[in-house]
Structure 1
Amino acid sequence: MPGDVKVLERPRAEGSYVRAAAKGMSITMRHLLKPKKKTQQYPDEKWELAPRTRGTHRMAVHEDGRAKCVACGLCPTVCPVNCIKLVPAEDENGERYAAIYEIDEFRCIFCGYCQEVCPVEAIHLGVHYENAEYSRERWVYDLERLVEQDHPVTALWDPSDPASQ
């Protein structure tokens, strides 16, 4: 016979079902007497988020309301899932701007590379996490929608943590 097989005999003594039932009831009573955890009432009570939480994107704007993006092309280049579409253009003064800037939030993995690589700090990840839409098209944020976002932005690092600098 290959290997050593150990055969165990079933115990012949009658077990006490009263003792097993009492043990089960004691466990149940312990759980009943424990203080209960408070349920969070979600729409009224929100979670306290970490300062580095990454949510939906937003675009920074100049004082006159124009988007800060200079259409350098670094953010679509560094994006690992290719969710950023950028079409550059130039105005009559020779300044570059983004004619089309779209982010597909449905494909985005919220890695933050676009925020880190931006030379003018135009694109930011915000702390907004409630993303519910009724159609797939609403997940594509164009430049107008990115500029309209007004939620706070995420921190790239935690200033109180010396290991993060």
Structure 2
Amino acid sequence: MKERQDDNPATPEEVTDRVWELADKIDICMLTTWNGEQQRSRPMSARPKRAENAFYFLTDVSGDKNAELEKFPTVSLAWADKGSYRFAVVSGQGTISNDRAKIAELWSDMDKVWWEDKDDPSIRLLTVTPERGEIWDTPGALVSGAKMLMAAVTGGAPELGDNAAVKM
């Protein structure tokens, strides 16, 4: 996918809007942390709150990611809407807290898969403050497939959509 370089590139505001929109729509993202030697990614249910400029996650008090975040707070979040070939990535700073009010606010019935209720003392709040966002928007699987086939026949490179990054 080539980066958008036309006369009317997406504005930083449009890219930022798209990052938040995709994060809200897709829900599950891959959270990537660093332990000093290697990266580790795991699926997490994101609770994006644009008005607060934060992505929230409920997490357990145990787990490697908590120790990793204390030592190396820079994380990446990646969302993929494979049905419409749209993708978003955010990098930022992550922190773990025991903010019981925010945990209660974010609690949903789906969280009962992991904990009995919002008052479970093992729940922690992971907050990611975004610093950079990037999107990839393509015209969808059918159009992308046709463009790739045409490129293979003609020997050219397919233009599969737009890519843009923004400081958040």
Q: TM-score range by the shorter chain?
A: under 0.3
Larger radius of gyration: 1
TM score, norm. by length of structure 1: 0.22
Whichever structure has more strand as a proportion of its residues is 2
